[in-house]
Structure 1
Amino acid sequence: MAAVDLIEFWRGGLRESVHRGHAVVWDRGGMVAAWGNPGAVIFPRSSCKMIQALPLLESGAADAAGLGTRQLALACASHSGARMHAQGVRDWLHGLGMAEGDLRCGTHMPWDAAENRRLTCSDEAPCQFHNNCSGKHAGFLTWNRHHKGDVEYHLPEHPLQQAIRAATEEVTGENVAGTGIDGCSAPNFAVSIAGLARAMAGFASPAGDGRGRAMRRLTDAMAMHPELVAGEGRACTDLMRAMGGRVAVKTGAEAVFVAIAPERGLGIALKVTDGGTRGSEAAITALLVHHGLLDANHPAVGKYLTGPIRNWRGTEVAERRLAEGFAGF
């Protein structure tokens, strides 16, 4: 089965471009709805950080280190590198007797405008705390310290990454289809869209065992601290705020998006095949509205889906549309 049209862009009465992809909705009973190919294999990229954080909690490392909800949210984050993000990770590691040099995520300029401007104007270089994945790596380091592991915790053969691989296979219900290296140098394990949606449904309806408690803690932390999961002006933060902490959502590079809706027991996963973030943000917004998780009249829906597209003078020049047959609209 091929990818299907999800989101269209229209200008001057003509369809100018289209984002195609796959999407799956899963609940306690199995697959609820699907568009495109549910079996399409993808790299979930950062959308699976909740899965990557499971060994941190299940091993007892999080509790041994006294991690709170803010640290757990950062462990699941693709943050903007704002001062609160970088300082949060810095304080976390310093509290464990570790430093920036222990990280293996690499360095890039922060996406946060204020922090980017501060660094640029002061001629100060960014550090690894600014990396959008530094919270995930702080979680890795916390696990590694607890288990006295080798310092190169990011390598695929490291026991931590093997534990993450095992957790990935268990929550998706399928064997990992391949291993890639993410932008932050950690392994990323390929799974199907359906498997990823099934995993998110597991987070939405967790069992009462140790894994279930870990899933609930991570989901609650994300919903409690949306500003830490992404940042101001970012879709994850905007959408979680719009839903009042009832749903956790998480983006991944190359236009992957997931959602966890505990009240409904729903897990959602989608991939836009061209890698365009604007397409994945619009598609997840459409699915959240369709399933009654997000008010169609909320300003966030206008920002990411229904609102007009304006040019630099503020003139309305184009619009987004749902492709025919997508999300039941």
Structure 2
Amino acid sequence: MSASYRGGEPVAEIVRSGFAESLHRGSVAVTDPSGNLVASIGDTGSAVFPRSSNKPMQAVAMLRAGWEPGTSADLAIASASHRGEAFHLAQVASVLGSAGIGEDRLQCPADLPSDPDARTAVIADGGATRRVYMNCSGKHAGMLAACVAGGWDLATYRDPEHPYQRLVIATVEELTGDPVQAIGIDGCGAPVLAVTLAGLARAFARLVEAPAGSPERRVADAMRANPKLIDGTRGPDHRMMTAVPGLLAKGGAEGVHVIAAPGVGAVAVKIDDGAGRASTPVALRAITQISGLEIPHESKPEIDALLWPEVHGGDQPVGRLRTLL
């Protein structure tokens, strides 16, 4: 029986017109560059589902299976939670095409793009939901490409007992230093693996500190070289990685966010109520205030906007989310 996540401590509040109207509780794990836990808030030793923060580790397994992406952008989209913008769709098509696979092989749910402009354009053109629009289609395309490289069955690639998924489990356990404590079904239908927050932070520290050319470093480098592919034009991961050279960031559903930087370490955050609005500010606060990440002077306005997001009343800012770290 796995140890269930027990919950965290107050980590953020919403202040509207000078009045604190909401409180977010959560947990934060902070590691040094070697992956050693150096600070923690809340429950960092019980298992959580990292959701899409698992994707970089799943991409490492793709490379270990023998997949050779045509470009770093192909590897980035396989690690992404994309928004269905045109350049995202083109990159997913690139992964599928280079492996000789059609869109019909994707087993993620059909969806509309999550980017508002892209979704509006599809609807205006009378378009319908498609699997490629779903934010995990890049990951599913990479999984299929890995199966082609490994000579494995394509129809069952989501099965936890499939050779590729067994390789993912081994990879996650190696990078996190944790045993996988539970296997669930993610929103996209692929397996999601439960590990501790401390292990999740440790894995990201290992990604950015890995030797150049290793599968771990290749994934980290691809994501950092193509940040707009990771979560779209408006995405916080894109904005953070663009603003701070060397930073690696990947969010996940249900209030998970992980950030790492070479020579600094990594932080992993889980917000108890699953609210994504708190996970990014708390993770940024932890890596700057606890880990000591220095923000370039020219990037401070962008980082501050992510660190202290505004609360609006009507069409005017009337407050902010305030971290409590």
Give yes or no for the alignment of 1:175 onto 2:176.
no
- Out of 9, 13, 29, the position equivalent to 1:8 is 13
Give yes or no for the alignment of 1:256 onto 2:261.
no
TM-score, with length taken from structure 2: 0.92
- Out of 132, 143, 146, the position equivalent to 1:143 is 146
Q: Which amino acid aligns with 2:301?
A: P
Deviation at residue 321 of structure 1 after TM alignment: 1.6
Overall identity of the aligned pairs, in %:
35
Q: What is the aligned-residue RMSD (CA, Å)?
A: 1.8
Which residue pairs with 1:45 in the alignment?
Answer: 51
Q: Which amino acid aligns with 2:233?
A: E
- In 2, Cα distance between the equivalents of 1:174 and 1:284? 21
Classify the secondary structure of the residue corresponding to 2:214: helix
Deviation at residue 36 of structure 1 after TM alignment: 0.9
Residues 80-129 of structure 1: CA deviation (Å, up to 9, x unaligned): 01011012111321232211111111211101222211110111113111
Which residue pairs with 1:322 in the alignment?
Answer: 323
Asked whether the 8 Å contact 2:35–2:206 carries over to 1, the reply is no
Q: Which amino acid aligns with 2:18?
A: G
Residues 265-305 of structure 1: CA deviation (Å, up to 9, x unaligned): x1221100100010102112212332224358722233222
Which residue pairs with 2:282 in the alignment?
Answer: 283
Asked whether the 8 Å contact 1:41–1:190 carries over to 2, the reply is yes
Deviation at residue 215 of structure 1 after TM alignment: 0.7
Q: Cα distance 1:293–1:69, how it changes in 2: closer, same or farther (>3 A)?
A: farther
Q: Cα distance 1:194–1:221, how it changes in 2: closer, same or farther (>3 A)?
A: same
- Out of 115, 118, 134, the position equivalent to 1:115 is 118
Q: Which amino acid aligns with 2:187?
A: G
Q: Which amino acid aligns with 2:171?
A: A
TM-score, with length taken from structure 1: 0.91
Give yes or no for the alignment of 1:190 onto 2:189.
no
- In 1, Cα distance between the equivalents of 2:16 and 2:116? 30
Q: Which amino acid aligns with 2:26?
A: G
Deviation at residue 263 of structure 1 after TM alignment: 3.7
Asked whether the 8 Å contact 2:95–2:142 carries over to 1, the reply is no
Q: Cα distance 1:60–1:2, how it changes in 2: closer, same or farther (>3 A)?
A: closer
Q: Cα distance 1:156–1:307, how it changes in 2: closer, same or farther (>3 A)?
A: closer
Q: Which amino acid aligns with 1:73?
A: A
- In 1, Cα distance between the equivalents of 2:113 and 2:184? 24
Asked whether the 8 Å contact 2:51–2:253 carries over to 1, the reply is yes
Of the structure 1 ranges 47-56 and 89-98, higher mean CA displacement relative to structure 2 is found in 89-98
